[in-house]
Amino acid sequence: MTRILIVDDDELIADSLSYSLKLEGFEVYSVELGAQALSAMAAFAPDLVVLDLNLPDISGMEVCRQMRINSTIPVIMLTARDDEIDRVMGLEIGADDYLTKPFAFRELLARIRALLRRVQFDQQAPSPSTFVIGEVALDKKARRIFRRNLEIEISAREFDLLMLLMQNAGTALSREQLLDQVWGQDWVGDHRTLNVHIRWLRVKLEDDPASPRLIQTVRGYGYRFAGPEELT
């Protein structure tokens, strides 16, 4: 049975989510504090975490950062503010998705299922390989990225997006294709999330993020990763 860890000090929200997710067939464990969440990672071994940003002891940002040290399981962050700075910071430290309170349970459920499908697909994928385009090397098996032989710290969602772009190097991919294949067809969040991830990938990989050479915008359509012949 798939395990979900809920980290939220709002008892009403935590109890409601626990009840609804159990009805959907999940095993659910709920805690109120960040310290409890970190302990539960080992004791409960969740397959996915729903994490509130504002906790009474440790911030959700810090909890997510510490979780990412030893785990790559999906994390959905909950925030009471529709603030792009918070969203960008959450995605940057490794959260896979976010929802602004209040939210509909069905929307959360759709995102949970999309993330779990992505994990299942990764586990069933055929033998991973390492491939190189220009100065960027992607190790699919170890889920590591290198630029000029230096490892780049990257979130799980950024890795999936970059891998899709590099696997289709030289080919323009529409925004819909990228969202469907990286976030899942059931994903119903803000499409600006794609822009955030592209922006952070450029910051990490481009010499001049304002004039990208690797990850190019295809105006009115989507994005493409430069073909090998363009980077010689």
What's the confidence (pLDDT) of residue 213? Answer: 94
130-231 has which CATH code? 1.10.10.10
Count Cα atoms within 13 angstroms, Cβ side, for 45: 2
What's the confidence (pLDDT) of residue 90? Answer: 64
Residues of the chain where predicted confidence (pLDDT) is lower than 70: 81-92, 121-128, 186-189, 232
What's the confidence (pLDDT) of residue 22? Answer: 96
What's the confidence (pLDDT) of residue 8? Answer: 96
**Residue 207 — φ and ψ, nearest 5°?**
-65, -40
What's the confidence (pLDDT) of residue 16? Answer: 96
What's the CA gap between 161 and 216, in Å, rounded? 13
CATH 3.40.50.2300 spans which residues of the chain?
Answer: 3-124
What's the confidence (pLDDT) of residue 89? Answer: 64
Mean pLDDT of the chain: 88
**Beta-ladder partners of 28:** 4
What's the confidence (pLDDT) of residue 52? Answer: 93
CATH 1.10.10.10 spans which residues of the chain?
Answer: 130-231
Multiple choice CATH, 3-124, 3.90.76.10, 3.40.50.2300, 3.40.50.300, 1.10.8.80 = 3.40.50.2300
Answer whether 65's CB lies under 8 Å from 53's CB: no
What's the CA gap between 210 and 220, in Å, rounded? 18
Note the Cα 32 to chain centre separation in Å.
23
What's the confidence (pLDDT) of residue 129? Answer: 72
What are the tens digits of pLDDT across the range 120-133? Answer: 766 655 544 788 88
What's the CA gap between 186 and 52, in Å, rounded? 22
What are the tens digits of pLDDT across the range 36-56? Answer: 999 999 899 999 999 998 999
